[in-house]
């Protein structure tokens, strides 16, 4: 017989409950707040109901695939946002500058793309701040957007965003383009399922299953054509979110903004 309280079922149950509560506070709660409830997170441009959307490409830069995405986007006349992994960007400084020179926006996808649940607070801040410093150094301009890998959260993700002066941006439409079973047609279909005014579309210019970037590339012309047929303007995140950041203050209540009178006669 063990001595670990096996004779006291009540104590065992309360220990399990305590462990569950600890997990909830340490990992579950930030995940719930950030990933699902979007507290302090932008998942879609609020906009004014106008059909506008932003394409975002994660996990690059990759010297094999990213230049081909630049060519395709140039042919289509679409500005996009690339959420870059710091350690990849460090190996491809010229490619990072090329992305910016082509008129696209760059976002921070952390230094080494580790899941937030595997990182303590200090490591989380390093992952965010090191990538921000490198990308800002390479690009010579602020990096205003942060996307934690897998959209996963711990408490330090918000702190890292604040310290790097970035907005946390997730997505509202997915192509599921990193999966092995994705096809160009399935990518177009999945994105269209999530398409709403202000949509932020998650795609990848690198990584994923074998051949994944090829399939995303092949999907792009059809995807862009379908979105435009539906009346959507395709913008960078800067353009999609920039305009609404000014009046709304990014969700922070402003002392002067309280008199919006949306409710009419309430005091
Ligand atoms: Zn990623």
The answer to whether residues 44 and 196 touch, using CB atoms and an 8 Å cutoff, is yes
Q: Give the per-residue pLDDT at 133.
A: 98
Domain of residue 127 covers 44-247
Q: Give the per-residue pLDDT at 25.
A: 73
On the question of pLDDT at 4 being above 80, the answer is no
Q: Give the per-residue pLDDT at 8.
A: 53
The DSSP element (H or E) to which 93 belongs, if any, is helix 93-101
The answer to whether residues 64 and 92 touch, using CB atoms and an 8 Å cutoff, is no
Active-site hit among 104, 113, 204, 205: 204
On the question of pLDDT at 251 being above 70, the answer is no
Residue 224 lies inside a defined structural domain of this protein: yes
DSSP state string for 100-160: HHTT-EEEE--SS---GGG--HHHHHHHHHHHHHHHHHHHTS---EE--GGG---HHHHHH
Active-site hit among 35, 58, 59, 205: 58
- pLDDT, mean of residues 26-37: 90
CA of 190 to the centre of ligand 1 (A): 18
- What six digits make up the tokens of 193? 């399922």
On the question of pLDDT at 265 being above 90, the answer is no
Residue 74 lies inside a defined structural domain of this protein: yes
- Span 89-128, pLDDT tens digits: 999 999 999 999 999 999 999 999 999 999 999 999 999 9
Residue 4 lies inside a defined structural domain of this protein: no
Q: Give the per-residue pLDDT at 248.
A: 35
Residue 158 lies inside a defined structural domain of this protein: yes
pTM for this predicted structure: 0.84
Residue 9 lies inside a defined structural domain of this protein: no
**136-143, Cβ contacts within 8 angstroms, sequence gap of 24 or more:** 138/89, 138/93, 138/96, 138/97, 139/96, 139/97, 139/100, 139/106, 141/100, 143/106, 143/107, 143/108
On the question of pLDDT at 257 being above 80, the answer is no
d(CA 182, CA 184): 7
The answer to whether residues 205 and 213 touch, using CB atoms and an 8 Å cutoff, is yes
CA of 57 to the centre of ligand 1 (A): 9
CA of 150 to the centre of ligand 1 (A): 6
CA of 27 to the centre of ligand 1 (A): 19
Which residue from 106, 123, 114 is spatially nearest to 150, judged by alpha carbons?
114
Residue 51 lies inside a defined structural domain of this protein: yes
Per-chain mean pLDDT for the chain: 87
Is 58 an annotated catalytic residue?
yes
Instruction: Count the domains in the chain.
Output: 1
CA of 264 to the centre of ligand 1 (A): 44
Is 205 an annotated catalytic residue?
no
Q: How confident is the model at residue 47 (pLDDT cuts 50, 70, 90)?
A: low
Q: How confident is the model at residue 12 (pLDDT cuts 50, 70, 90)?
A: confident
- What six digits make up the tokens of 246? 């000014």
Q: How confident is the model at residue 213 (pLDDT cuts 50, 70, 90)?
A: very high
CA of 144 to the centre of ligand 1 (A): 17
Residue 69 lies inside a defined structural domain of this protein: yes
Residue 6 lies inside a defined structural domain of this protein: no
We report the CATH number of the domain holding residue 243 as 3.20.20.370
Q: Give the per-residue pLDDT at 3.
A: 42
CA of 11 to the centre of ligand 1 (A): 42
């Amino acid at each position: 017989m063990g001595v670990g309280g096996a004779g006291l079922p009540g104590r065992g149950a309360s220990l399990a409950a305590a462990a569950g509560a600890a997990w909830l506070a340490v990992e579950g709660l930030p995940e719930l707040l950030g990933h699902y409830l979007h507290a302090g997170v932008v998942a879609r441009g609020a906009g004014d109901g106008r059909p506008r959307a932003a394409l975002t490409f994660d996990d690059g830069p990759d010297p094999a695939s990213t230049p081909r995405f630049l060519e395709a986007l140039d042919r289509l006349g679409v500005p996009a946002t690339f959420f870059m992994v710091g350690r990849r960007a460090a190996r491809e400084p010229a490619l990072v500058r090329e992305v910016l020179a082509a008129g696209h926006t760059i976002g921070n996808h952390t230094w080494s793309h580790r899941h937030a649940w595997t990182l303590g607070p200090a490591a989380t801040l390093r992952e965010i701040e090191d990538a921000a410093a490198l990308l800002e150094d390479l690009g010579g301009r602020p990096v205003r957007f942060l996307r934690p890998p897998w959209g996963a959260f711990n408490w330090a993700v918000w702190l890292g965003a604040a310290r790097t002066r970035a907005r946390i941006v997730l997505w509202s439409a997915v192509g599921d383009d990193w999966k092995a079973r994705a096809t160009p047609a399935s990518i177009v279909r999945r994105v269209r399922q999530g398409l709403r005014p202000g949509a932020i579309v998650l795609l990848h210019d690198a990584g994923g299953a074998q051949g994944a970037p090829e399939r995303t590339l092949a999907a792009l012309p059809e995807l862009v054509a379908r979105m435009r047929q539906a009346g959507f303007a395709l913008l960078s995140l800067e353009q999609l979110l920039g305009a609404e950041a000014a009046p709304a203050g990014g969700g922070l209540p402003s002392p002067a903004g309280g008199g919006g009178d949306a409710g009419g006669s309430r005091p």
